[in-house]
Chain A
Amino acid sequence: MQKEIINQKQAIVLMVTFIMGSGTIVGTGDKSGQDIWIALLIAMAGASIIMAVYARIIKLFPGMDLFDLLDKLFGRILGKFIALIFTWYLFHVGLNLIRNTSEFIRIISLDATPQCVIALFTGVLIAYALRCGIEVIGRWVSIFFPVIIVISITLSVIAVDMYDFDRLKPVLYEGLKPVLSDAFGIFAHPFAETVVFLGIAGCFQKQSNPHKIFNIALLIGGLYMLMLAVRTIALMGPVNKSLQMFPPYITARIIKIGDFFQRIELINAVIIVTAVFTKVTVYMFSFAKGMSYLLKIDDYRTLSTPLVFFTAAYSIFLFDNALFMVKWALNVFPYYAIPFEIIIPLLVWIAAEIKARNDKKTTSQNQSTNSSGSNAGMQC
């Protein structure tokens, strides 16, 4: 089987777009009000720790993705069990994301279109992307990434006249508690969501440095979120931010220069849909891999299309209404994600460290038969 590889730059860009993803729809937490930037910085600091763990796992066994690794570290049964739990997470979050997108499109513009149609066509797009493979997605993202960044920065800069940074005051009025609560939310969603990249780590170039990938992605993605949050607050104030269903989008609605340059929210909607599409694709990619591992199918592509359509169809039944969706994303998800984003990676990391040490010992004992990592990179 041909092995797909994305280089370091593509991996970084993919991860940054992934981090931008759904944060651009429902925005960041709504408890801390004007202190959201502090929450973001705390979340970034926290995320850098857990991301170091993810990167370390990839570094220890380069060219292997999580599912191969689980097999190797925990044996067939326990490995499969953990893989099953993790695959459930991928599926469930993928569901959420498709629902987010279709709900967003439904509320902002296509109000008479049945939601299943929107979800279905999102599904078609993702299935097509998966068929093309991660290389194509990597290249596609590196083309679109500069576009997103340029548009976002332009939007923020042209609004500079409308900012009132007084709205960021008072600092820490309600104390540290809501800030920490939001920081935890942002940490889980989107920063620590990069755990998904463990599932496709097999596609990273072997010589690329995973630490570098995660750190740069965290920095750029974090700064982007920071810009978005500060822009929203400085423009509309914390009250409007917590009131609105989709704050970043509404912000773009207000931004204008005179009578000439206005009503530019559609550009923002394009960014949102692009970023979320990338995110869902990464999730679905990982999900397809997990399922193919569980069902012992060599090529994930065999499964990708039916899985994506299943997810898209199921997304319609996930929530009763949009309100619940946003509440879930902001209030429930962070806790729900702990086992998948923290506990499983930590377990894998510890096991991987031990395994790597043992392997080293065995290799030094009988240097002629180098057994470790020989099958690494066979599958992707």
Chain B
Amino acid sequence: MVVLIFNIANAFILTSCWNYKETDNLTLVRGFSVDRVEDGNYFISIETADMHQAGTEGKGKAAIIESEGESMFDAVRNAVLVNVPRLYWAHSTAVILSQQVAQEGFLKVLDFLIRDAETRLDIHPFVYRGEYAKEIFNTTPISAVMVSEELKDMLHGQKFTSKTLLVQIYEVIERLEGEGISVVMPAVCVTEVNGAKTIKLCGLAIFKGDKLVGFLDEDETKYFCFATDEVDGGLLVVDAEHEGKKGKITLEILNSGTRFKARYKDDEISIQIRIRVRTSMNDVQIEEFPSTDNAINDLKRQANEQLKKDIENLIKKVQEINSDIFGFGSLVKKQLPKVWKEKGKDWDNNFKELKVEIIPEVEIVHTALLKDSIKKGD
């Protein structure tokens, strides 16, 4: 009986929440940017969902909080000085690093995010291509209410363009600690659309260790995605030539699969990448381009050559930067563990001279709704 009363009382009085937080007293963080200011402090600009003004209409509003501190956590806690309700971090989706922070090493910033119990490992990191990352929150997102939300949605739209890469924090850790693979993060910049400033995803940021060493533009990012089997869709614009007529033919990627094979012969590692792309011909800008087998096969050949050349150029560029963002090293480790034991120690040099053979196989599955090209009959 005593136990019974005790238990019932227990359930009501002690709800096991010592530090109970009312949801309407929380400020939900959706995203934040990190800058380094002159005295070495971190300056963070936090985009929060304003719960007080949400009301019944259900239209959220963003509020920006700015704060400064000696360390990341310090800066985060200092936000309480400008904003009474404590920030709640579990719903943050994006962290935008300024170029300077990225160049000095992102680990100092991200350690807090990874360690803290409230934040999650599925946050998307970005690098801002511009001066101050806080500028990003001065823009107006076009479809979403908040910049961070828009950023996340744009990342998920990757499957239509393959011109950016969906990266989450836990993948960053994996790449950072993993052997023979380097970190990439999507880059973001500010652009002007119809007179209003808005955000734009502009390629990838390349890291060596945790330090920023370079950027890839959007098209290079697409070829990067081809070389790492991350392509889910997007377009291939081919500079085609048919019977002397030049023009662009755009192929829509239906799906794509990449197979990797690492080889070791005569003390030399080589990697073979076989890319199979299924496409449909969707946009023809050559006059009277016929749908004959010959013409299509010719187009395929041209697409293959172009894709091959573009990816090779990209690999050459990255080899000059000397950061193995493709994960060729880890590929060698997985496929040829014995070779990696020997060559892995000096991967920086080996990566530079790595031979990569690319075999694209573009297939044209259909030509959309038209059987033939539209002809001009005068």
Instruction: Verify that A and B bind, or say they do not.
Output: yes
Q: A110-B19, A169-B334 are in contact. Are A237 and B120 (CB under 8 A)?
A: no
B18 contacts partner chain A, Cβ-Cβ < 8 Å:
yes
- Looking across the interface, which residue of chain B has its beta carbon closest to that of A235? B170
User: B334 near A166 (CB under 8 angstroms)?
Assistant: yes
Interface string of A104-143 (1 = CB under 8 A from B): 0001111111100100010010001001000000000000
User: B117 near A107 (CB under 8 angstroms)?
Assistant: yes
User: B122 near A254 (CB under 8 angstroms)?
Assistant: yes
User: B3 near A128 (CB under 8 angstroms)?
Assistant: yes
Shortest Cβ distance from A37 into chain B, in angstroms?
A: 16
Of the candidates A131, A170, A243, A250, the one whose C-beta lies within 8 Å of that of B333 is A170
Q: A250-B121, A256-B122 are in contact. Are A111 and B173 (CB under 8 A)?
A: no
* Complex alpha-carbon distance, A353 and B178, angstroms: 53
User: A236 near B170 (CB under 8 angstroms)?
Assistant: yes
A332 contacts partner chain B, Cβ-Cβ < 8 Å:
no
User: B121 near A110 (CB under 8 angstroms)?
Assistant: no
* Complex alpha-carbon distance, A109 and B181, angstroms: 34
B194 contacts across to A, CB distance below 8 A:
none
- Looking across the interface, which residue of chain B has its beta carbon closest to that of A113? B18
Of the candidates A117, A243, A253, the one whose C-beta lies within 8 Å of that of B122 is A253
A110 contacts across to B, CB distance below 8 A:
16-19
B353 contacts partner chain A, Cβ-Cβ < 8 Å:
no
Q: A169-B334, A170-B333, A256-B122 are in contact. Are A237 and B178 (CB under 8 A)?
A: yes
User: A170 near B337 (CB under 8 angstroms)?
Assistant: yes
* Complex alpha-carbon distance, A250 and B168, angstroms: 14
A111 contacts across to B, CB distance below 8 A:
19, 117
B17 contacts across to A, CB distance below 8 A:
110
A239 contacts partner chain B, Cβ-Cβ < 8 Å:
yes
A173 contacts across to B, CB distance below 8 A:
333, 337
Shortest Cβ distance from B327 into chain A, in angstroms?
A: 10
* Complex alpha-carbon distance, A121 and B340, angstroms: 52
Interface size class of B (residues with CB under 8 A): 20 to 34
User: A239 near B178 (CB under 8 angstroms)?
Assistant: yes
* Complex alpha-carbon distance, A376 and B224, angstroms: 72
- Looking across the interface, which residue of chain B has its beta carbon closest to that of A170? B337
User: B16 near A243 (CB under 8 angstroms)?
Assistant: no
User: A113 near B337 (CB under 8 angstroms)?
Assistant: no
Shortest Cβ distance from B4 into chain A, in angstroms?
A: 10
User: A240 near B170 (CB under 8 angstroms)?
Assistant: yes
Shortest Cβ distance from B243 into chain A, in angstroms?
A: 45
A113 contacts across to B, CB distance below 8 A:
16, 18-19
* Complex alpha-carbon distance, A236 and B337, angstroms: 21
| A-B interface pairs (CB < 8 A), number | 60
Interface string of B156-196 (1 = CB under 8 A from A): 00000000000010100110011000000000000000000
A237 contacts across to B, CB distance below 8 A:
174, 178
Shortest Cβ distance from A61 into chain B, in angstroms?
A: 35
Interface string of B187-227 (1 = CB under 8 A from A): 00000000000000000000000000000000000000000
Shortest Cβ distance from A302 into chain B, in angstroms?
A: 16
User: A117 near B334 (CB under 8 angstroms)?
Assistant: no
- Looking across the interface, which residue of chain A has its beta carbon closest to that of B174? A237
* Complex alpha-carbon distance, A131 and B7, angstroms: 14
Q: A128-B3, A236-B174, A239-B173 are in contact. Are A109 and B117 (CB under 8 A)?
A: yes
B173 contacts across to A, CB distance below 8 A:
239-240, 243
- Looking across the interface, which residue of chain A has its beta carbon closest to that of B114? A243
Interface string of A211-232 (1 = CB under 8 A from B): 0000000000000000000000
Shortest Cβ distance from A157 into chain B, in angstroms?
A: 19
- Looking across the interface, which residue of chain B has its beta carbon closest to that of A107? B117
Of the candidates A107, A121, A169, the one whose C-beta lies within 8 Å of that of B16 is A121
A256 contacts across to B, CB distance below 8 A:
122
* Complex alpha-carbon distance, A131 and B120, angstroms: 40
- Looking across the interface, which residue of chain A has its beta carbon closest to that of B120? A253
* Complex alpha-carbon distance, A112 and B121, angstroms: 23
Of the candidates B18, B117, B170, the one whose C-beta lies within 8 Å of that of A117 is B18
B122 contacts across to A, CB distance below 8 A:
253-254, 256
Shortest Cβ distance from B173 into chain A, in angstroms?
A: 6
* Complex alpha-carbon distance, A237 and B177, angstroms: 10
- Looking across the interface, which residue of chain A has its beta carbon closest to that of B14? A121
- Looking across the interface, which residue of chain A has its beta carbon closest to that of B178? A239
B170 contacts across to A, CB distance below 8 A:
236, 240, 254
* Complex alpha-carbon distance, A65 and B334, angstroms: 50
A109 contacts across to B, CB distance below 8 A:
117
User: B117 near A108 (CB under 8 angstroms)?
Assistant: yes
* Complex alpha-carbon distance, A328 and B293, angstroms: 69
B120 contacts across to A, CB distance below 8 A:
253-254, 263
User: B174 near A239 (CB under 8 angstroms)?
Assistant: yes
Sorted from nearest, which 6 A-B pairs have the closest CB atoms? A113-B18, A112-B19, A169-B334, A239-B177, A170-B337, A237-B174
For this complex, 22 residue pairs linking A to B, each with C-beta atoms less than 8 Å apart, are A107-B117, A110-B19, A111-B117, A112-B19, A113-B16, A114-B18, A124-B10, A169-B334, A173-B337, A236-B174, A237-B174, A239-B174, A240-B121, A240-B173, A240-B174, A243-B177, A250-B121, A253-B120, A254-B122, A254-B168, A254-B170, A263-B90
Apart from A166-B334, A170-B340, A253-B121: 5 A-B pairs, beta carbons within 8 A:
A128-B7, A169-B334, A239-B178, A243-B173, A263-B120
Which positions in B face A, CB cutoff 8 Å? Answer: 3, 7, 10, 14, 16-19, 90, 117, 120-122, 168, 170, 173-174, 177-178, 333-335, 337, 340
